[in-house]
Structure 1
C-alpha cells in the first residue's frame, strides 16, 4: 500500500493506492498536486475507485470541485467509480427544491451536487446508506477500510443550514514558550462546530498495519471512535494517525489521547489559516501519550515545520 498526503493548501487531500486500486479522500483548497496525481492514475490505465468527501468545508471540498472543472474543460469523462458525499440535498431528499446560501461550504456542497447530477455514471452514496462498510469488503485487495460516519441527527442539523459552519482557534501560540503553554494544557476549550461534527473518519488496516484518518473530527466523536476500535483493551494501537483539524489544540482531548498507542502523526496544512497547527496540540500529545520511544510528527508542508521545529527536541519529518 502507498499513501500520499498531498500538498493541498490549508486542508487535506489523501491518496491511497493498493493493488491497482485508488482511494482519494478530500481535495484540500489547492488542487495543483491533486490534478497531477489524477493524471498519473489515468496514465497507469487506472481510475479513482472511491472518492470520499469527508465534509463540506472549503479546505476539503474545493480541490474536488477544481478537479471536476479541470476534467470538464478538457471535455473528458471523470474516471471516478464511486463517491461518498453527504450532500445537503441528498441527506434532506430535496432534489427538486432549489436552495441558496451565502455560506461558502454550503455553496460548494451544492456545486458538487450539480456536478454529480451531470455525471450520473459515478455511483453516489452517503454514509446513511445501509451497510456502507459492507460495500468495500474485498474490493481493495488486502487493504480493508472502515467508515466511521456522523449520526443521522448531526447530518440533518448541518444539512438544514443551521448554526455556524466554521469554528476555529484564532489565537496564535507559535511564539509563546513551551514552559508557558504547558501550564495551561487542559480540555476547557473543545471544538463543537456543526461542520466538523459531520466529518467522516476512515480506518485503514492492511496486514498488521493500522492507520486512522480523522478529517476534522470533534473531540467527543473522536473519543467514541477510539472506544469502538479499542473495544475492551486499555488502548487502541495505531501505526499512523492524521491529526484532526490540521493539528488544532481544540480537536484533542486528554482522556482520548490516554487511550491511544501511536508514535507517528501526520499534520496536513500549509499553516496559512487559523494559526494551525497549534503548538499546544503537540504538547498535549506528548503529555498524554506515554511512550518510551520518540514521537514522530510528519508534515506535508515545510512551512508548518518552520513555525514549530525550533522549540521541540523531537524527530520531525517532512513528507
Structure 2
C-alpha cells in the first residue's frame, strides 16, 4: 500500500532535525524551501511554482520566518519557465510592496546575463512599439496562466511585471556571488555561505550560449532586424517570449501501467530508447549540490542529463542524502549513466502530472533499478499514475522501496538528520 499523507508530514530518524525540505504543491512545477540548522537557521528557496503556490502556501510560511527574525539567505530561480517562476513574480511583486521577508541574494539568469553584443544606441519609436506589443502579449499570457483558484480580476499585470524588472525595482542583490554575471559553472564552481557550500552543476557557458541562440532565432523568425541594445524592453521581451514559447512540442507517449508491473518489465523499461531533452531553456537550469554539515543534497531543476552526469560524477560523492529528480521525472532528462551517480535513499518528485504526463515510468525504473540494493524513499507531492505503479508490494519488496504521497493540498516536510 502507498502511504497517503493527509496533512503536512515530517519524517524523522531521531529527535534532531538538521535539515528540513518543504516541498510545496506547485501543480506541474517546483517550489522548495530548504531550512538548514537548528539555531540561526539558513533558508534557501528554490522556485515558486505558480502564483497560487505563493498565495496559498508559501506566503504564510515566509511571514512566519520573518516573525522568527529569519530571512531567505538565497533565492534561486532555476530558469525561465512558467511552472517555476510565475509564483516568483507574484512573490517579488508582493514583497516589493509589503516587505514580507528579507532576501539576502537572488540567483536568476536572464537577458542581461547572456554574452551578447549590445549596441549603445537607442531604439526608434517603431522598434519600441514592436517590443511593447510583444510584452503586452506576454503579460496577457502570464495573467492567464498564473492562477487557477484566485480570481484573475484580483491580479494586476502591467508593464514592468517581469521577474527581472521586479528584481531591479526591489534593489535585490542579484547574482552578486558571481559579480553580477551569469550563474554558470564556468564563472564560479563553488560558493560558500557561512557553513553552507553550494556546487554549481548547471548551467555552463555552452548551455547559456544555446539559450542566446534560441533568443536570436526567435527575433529572426519574427523578422526583427533592429539592433540589440541595453534597453530594459529587451529584458522584458526576452523573459515573456521564453515563457510563451517553451515546450510547445510535448511528448505525451505513455507506457502502459498494466504491462509493466513485474521486475522483468523494469529491466525492459530501462533499456528503451528515449529522445533526450534538447530545450535550451531547460538546459539553462541552475542545478546545485548543497553541502551542509557533511550532508549532500542535489536539486537538479530541469537540467540536461549530459551536464548533470559529468558534474555530479566529478563531485566524487558516493551517496547523496537527497535527490530532487530532474524535470519532474521526465524520461528525457534521465539516462542510465545519470541514474548510476544518483545514489541516494531519498528522491523527491514534484508534479501533479497534469501537463506533461510526468513522471515517466522509464525514469523511475532507472532510479529504482540502479539503487535496488539501497533502502530508499520516494516522495511525491501529488498522487500520479507513476506513484501508484511504484508502490505495489512486489515493487517495494523487490527494490527496497518506501513511498510517501501527498494529497496535493498541503506541503510535504522531509527531514534529513
> Normalising to structure 1: TM-score of the pair?
0.83
Distance 2:361 2:185 in 1: 39
What residue is the counterpart of 2:106 in the other structure? Answer: 83
Q: How does 1:128-167 map to 2 (within 5 A)?
A: 128=184, 132=188, 136-137=191-192, 139-141=193-195, 143-160=196-213, 161=215, 162=217, 165-166=246-247
1:8, 1:34 within 8 Å by CA — same for their partners in 2?
Answer: no
Q: Does 1:16 align with 2:37?
A: no
1:226, 1:236 within 8 Å by CA — same for their partners in 2?
Answer: no
Classify 1:55/1:176 alpha carbon distance in 2 versus 1 (closer, same or farther; 3 Å). Answer: farther
Deviation at 1:47, TM superposition (A): 1.7
Q: How does 1:106-145 map to 2 (within 5 A)?
A: 111-124=162-175, 125=180, 126-128=182-184, 132=188, 136-137=191-192, 139-141=193-195, 143-145=196-198
The worse-fitting range, judged by mean Cα deviation, of 294-303 and 205-214 is 294-303
Deviations along 1:40-59, one digit per CA (max 9) or x if unpaired, are 22111222121111111111
Deviations along 1:60-89, one digit per CA (max 9) or x if unpaired, are 1111111123334x5447621211110123
Deviation at 1:227, TM superposition (A): 2.3
Classify 1:243/1:128 alpha carbon distance in 2 versus 1 (closer, same or farther; 3 Å). Answer: closer
Distance 1:251 1:128 in 2: 20
Instruction: From 335, 340, 352, give the equivalent of 1:253.
Output: 335
Instruction: From 188, 205, 210, give the equivalent of 2:296.
Output: 210
Distance 2:194 2:29 in 1: 26
Deviation at 1:278, TM superposition (A): 1.1
Instruction: From 379, 387, 390, give the equivalent of 1:298.
Output: 379
Secondary structure at 1:315's aligned position in 2? strand
Q: How does 1:270-309 map to 2 (within 5 A)?
A: 270-287=352-369, 289-302=370-383, 307-309=388-390
Deviation at 1:267, TM superposition (A): 0.5
Distance 1:208 1:298 in 2: 22
1:217, 1:251 within 8 Å by CA — same for their partners in 2?
Answer: yes
Deviation at 1:275, TM superposition (A): 0.8
Classify 1:290/1:53 alpha carbon distance in 2 versus 1 (closer, same or farther; 3 Å). Answer: closer
Deviation at 1:291, TM superposition (A): 3.8
Distance 1:153 1:91 in 2: 11
Alignment gaps of 5+ in structure 1: none
Deviation at 1:184, TM superposition (A): 4.5
Distance 1:261 1:206 in 2: 18
Distance 1:61 1:86 in 2: 12
The worse-fitting range, judged by mean Cα deviation, of 157-166 and 53-62 is 157-166
Aligned length: 309
Secondary structure at 2:162's aligned position in 1? helix
Q: How does 1:87-102 map to 2 (within 5 A)?
A: 87-92=110-115, 99=131, 100=134
Distance 1:237 1:55 in 2: 27
Q: Which has the higher contact order (CA 8 A, sep 6+)?
A: 2
Secondary structure at 1:266's aligned position in 2? strand
What residue is the counterpart of 1:54 in the other structure? Answer: 78
Deviation at 1:132, TM superposition (A): 4.0
* CA root-mean-square deviation: 3.2
Q: Does 1:41 align with 2:65?
A: yes
1:128, 1:152 within 8 Å by CA — same for their partners in 2?
Answer: yes
Distance 1:309 1:165 in 2: 30
1:237, 1:262 within 8 Å by CA — same for their partners in 2?
Answer: yes
Distance 1:149 1:309 in 2: 29
Distance 1:309 1:258 in 2: 19
Which of these two proteins has the greater Rg computed from alpha carbons?
Answer: 2
What residue is the counterpart of 1:3 in the other structure? Answer: 21
Classify 1:122/1:253 alpha carbon distance in 2 versus 1 (closer, same or farther; 3 Å). Answer: same
> Normalising to structure 2: TM-score of the pair?
0.65
Instruction: From 282, 292, 310, give the equivalent of 1:224.
Output: 310
Q: Does 1:193 align with 2:246?
A: no
